């Protein structure tokens, strides 16, 4: 997919699900244009690929934790099959569609959709199994018409425990946790002892601990209706909290819920008590889910400013590399030219250039030899100087500006740092103005809701 195609696809989807962000695409286009001119981006690259435009909500846990039931209840439609045994063996990415029927597509569909940051997911799969090239074996896409999912993406994990590919799936979970804006880890309330977290949940909990933003991880104790008796709800929650603390969980939110449509609680007082707890916690969870759209909008807008400042910070290290390249090559060419000048003077002094035609041939040969040496030395210096930078973007820009056909005495002269900085500062101001628009928009929405 070319950058132009990606811009267009993004606009089409955003107009349907989050039209407020459409104008930001033009800011990314300006940013791409500047970065490509310098060489920080390749022609087929775009900064729109470096960030997810739709917030990702991962729902992880074992097959018995009620993840699919939660998703179906949240969306108001039966999207995922449910059961006491694992009913699916792959990750399911769920997004919005305007079609009334639920659309199911293979995993390869994710590669062509700019909403999803799964362009490198096939590489992750190859790391798991170098012989495995079939992305459809690990991931699938479902689209459903539900306002709850509009502008968001849900990722439902498979039933790890029954899957012979569990190790591979767990490693995929690490990748998806890193991509996610919100992570919901489900536990089965019927098994509160620490041993229930062995293997699968152990892995998920450890992955969550190392997540860059621990507050984005919610721990959900599901199906409390199946095990809570008259007065032991707090005991169950306490047992899980102790089990999690043993695994190192010191932050993140803990919730207790159940599926009301599937519950059969005989005691009216207990039913009322559990329902109150469920409704309070479920409301908090749903508020978190709704808020990710707002958070993601700010991150997308802020990313323009971040990338613009990043480019500015790269300009001076790049200029230093170009100056070193130019200086070293001038010295090398001066030494080479001096050597050939001495050689020509020696030949002339000893009458080797007495014949005019012979002189012309020798001069052409000397100039050709000088050019060959110049190109060889230039290539050596170019590679040596490029290695002085550990930053891939700066190194790529340096290599672009020092290609063999570019006059090295003018290298870097086509990059006007002041002009580029002025353009980037203008983009930064646009980003800040757009964030103000977001403030106005979301403050107005909150007032309307109140």
Could you give the angle at which helices 417-449 and 268-349 cross, rounded to 10 degrees? 170
Kindly tell me the burial class for residue 200, based on how many C-beta atoms sit within 10 Å of its own C-beta (0-12, 13-18, 19 or more). Answer: buried
Contact yes or no for 99/146 (Cβ under 8 A) = no
Residue 188 dihedral angles phi and psi, to the nearest 5°: -85, 115
Structure tokens at 38: 């310098």
Q: Whole-model pTM?
A: 0.74
More confident residue, 1 or 53: 53
Range of lowest pLDDT (185-189, 310-314, 325-329): 185-189
- What pLDDT score does 28 carry? 96
At residue 312, the pLDDT reads 95
Quote the percentage of the chain above a pLDDT of 70.
Answer: 77
Task: Report the alpha-carbon distance of residue 255 to residue 47 in Å, rounded.
Answer: 37
Which residue from 426, 313, 304, 418 is spatially nearest to 29, judged by alpha carbons?
A: 304
With the CA atoms of 321, 323, 324 and 328 taken in that order, what torsion angle do they form, in degrees rounded to the nearest 10?
140
| pLDDT for 249 | 62
Residue 212, pLDDT above cutoff 80: no
Three-state SS at 201 = helix
Among 1, 13, 7, 5, which Cα is nearest to 27's? 7
**366-396 per-position pLDDT tens digit:** 889 999 999 999 999 999 999 999 999 999 9
- Domains, the chain, in order of start with CATH, read 1-50+298-450 (no CATH), 54-264 (3.40.50.300)
Question: What integer best gives the mean pLDDT of the chain?
Answer: 81
Token pair, residue 350, equals 């000893």
User: Is the pLDDT reported for residue 198 higher than 70?
Assistant: no
Q: State yes or no: pLDDT of 261 exceeds 90.
A: no
Please give the sequence-ordered ranges of beta strands (E in DSSP) within 371-428, or none if there are none. Answer: none
Q: Give the per-residue pLDDT at 324.
A: 94
Query: Does the pLDDT value for residue 40 go beyond 90?
Result: yes
């Amino acid at each position: 997919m070319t950058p132009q195609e990606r811009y267009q696809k993004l606009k089409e989807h955003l107009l349907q699900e989050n039209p407020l962000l459409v104008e930001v695409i033009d800011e990314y286009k300006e940013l791409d244009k500047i970065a490509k001119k310098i060489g920080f981006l390749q022609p087929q690259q775009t900064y729109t690929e470096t960030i997810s435009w739709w917030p990702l909500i991962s729902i992880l846990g074992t097959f018995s934790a009620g993840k699919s039931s939660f998703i179906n209840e949240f969306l108001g439609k039966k999207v995922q099959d449910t059961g006491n045994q694992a009913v699916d063996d792959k990750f399911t990415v769920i997004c919005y569609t305007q079609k009334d029927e639920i659309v199911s597509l293979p995993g390869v569909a994710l590669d062509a959709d700019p909403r999803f940051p799964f362009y490198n997911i096939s590489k992750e799969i190859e790391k798991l199994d170098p012989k495995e090239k079939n992305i459809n074996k690990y991931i699938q896409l479902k689209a459903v018409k539900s306002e709850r999912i509009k502008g968001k993406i849900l990722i439902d994990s498979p039933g790890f425990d029954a899957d012979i590919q569990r190790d591979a799936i767990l490693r995929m979970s690490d990748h998806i946790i890193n991509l996610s804006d919100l992570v919901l880890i489900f536990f089965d309330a019927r098994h509160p002892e620490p041993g229930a977290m062995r293997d699968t949940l152990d892995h998920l909990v450890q992955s969550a601990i190392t997540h860059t933003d621990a507050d984005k991880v919610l721990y959900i104790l599901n199906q409390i209706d199946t095990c809570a008796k008259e007065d032991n709800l707090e005991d169950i929650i306490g047992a899980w909290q102790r089990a999690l603390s043993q695994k190192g969980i010191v932050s993140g939110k803990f919730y207790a819920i159940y599926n009301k449509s599937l519950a059969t609680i005989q005691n009216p007082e207990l039913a009322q008590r559990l329902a109150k707890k469920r409704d309070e916690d479920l409301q908090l969870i749903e508020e978190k889910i709704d808020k990710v759209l707002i958070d993601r909008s700010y991150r997308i807008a802020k990313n323009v400013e971040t990338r613009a400042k990043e480019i500015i910070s790269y300009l001076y290290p790049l200029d230093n590399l170009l100056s070193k390249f130019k200086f070293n090559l001038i010295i090398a060419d001066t030494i080479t030219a001096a050597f050939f000048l001495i050689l020509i003077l020696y030949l002339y002094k000893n009458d080797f250039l007495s014949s005019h035609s012979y002189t012309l041939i020798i001069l052409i040969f000397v100039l050709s030899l000088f050019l060959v040496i110049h190109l060889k030395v230039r290539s050596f210096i170019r590679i040596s100087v490029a290695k002085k930078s550990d930053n891939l973007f700066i190194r790529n820009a340096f290599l672009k500006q020092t290609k063999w056909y570019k006059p090295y005495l003018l290298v870097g002269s086509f990059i006007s740092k002041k002009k580029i900085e002025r353009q980037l500062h203008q983009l930064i101001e646009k980003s800040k103005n757009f964030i103000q628009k977001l403030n106005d928009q979301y403050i107005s929405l909150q007032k309307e809701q109140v």
